Amino acid sequence: MNYVFQFGPVFEAWPLLLRGVWVTIQLSVLSMVFGLIIAVLCAAAKINGNGLLRFLVNAYIEVIRNTPFIIQLFVFFFVFPSIGVKLNAHTAALLAMTVNLGAYASEIVRAGIESIPKGQIEAGRALSLSGVEVFRFIILKPALRAIYPALTSQFIYLMLASSVVSVISADDLTSVAASLQSLTFRSFEIYIVVTLIYLLMTLTFSALFSLIYKYALDYPDRK
């Protein structure tokens, strides 16, 4: 094997790689926030909604969970413009990621809410707590504690799956890597570095989520 590693062109392109990292993080975080909002609304609809609303939510969840993410991405980027809704690559990627996370996280959130014993909720009402207080003190925190690991795993999975958005030329890390490869022809070096960057992002977010759990969900109960 006479291959000579040349990481110089990769290191010279650090500004481009950092921009790709920022776009990946931005898409992931925004889709997590908006996706969780959708998940909570869908979970509430499945628990307390009427028959029609539950049917619509179930249909949305089944369609998203049983179709490839790349097809969902193509729908926003290619199909929507054909009906007059023009989206740039960044917006289409964000919408596809948000809709995808919303469907998967809705079942996680629903399971967390339904894991709270009904007796605890009834006890809160017996103590004259308002609906908001019952949700905040009796349902929210225990439910979050129960579903937190699953939610964070889903977020990290979505961040890694965001590499797919490069197929519509969104300027994420994978898209930047493909552009650099076509310019430098150092594919081996570029994708080694990109792999390490994704690994670093995953480990960083995992550590951050662990700290949030320790100090926001777990630690106060030990005081």
Type of residue at 36: L
In angstroms, what CA-CA distances link 141 with 118, 132, 207? 15, 13, 20
Helix (H, G, I), strand (E, B) or coil at 83: coil
Distance CA 207, CA 200 (A): 11
**pLDDT tens readout for residues 33-57:** 999 999 988 988 888 778 899 999 9
pLDDT band at 223 (very low <50, low <70, confident <90, very high): very low
Cβ proximity of 193 and 17 under 8 Å: yes
In angstroms, what CA-CA distances link 146 with 8, 54, 116, 143, 219? 47, 24, 9, 5, 15
Share of the chain above pLDDT 70, in %: 96
pLDDT band at 3 (very low <50, low <70, confident <90, very high): confident
Structural domains of the chain, with CATH: 8-222 (1.10.3720.10)
Cβ proximity of 101 and 158 under 8 Å: yes
Name which residue leads in pLDDT, 98 or 3.
98
Quick check: pTM over 0.75? yes
> Is the per-residue pLDDT at 71 higher than 60?
yes
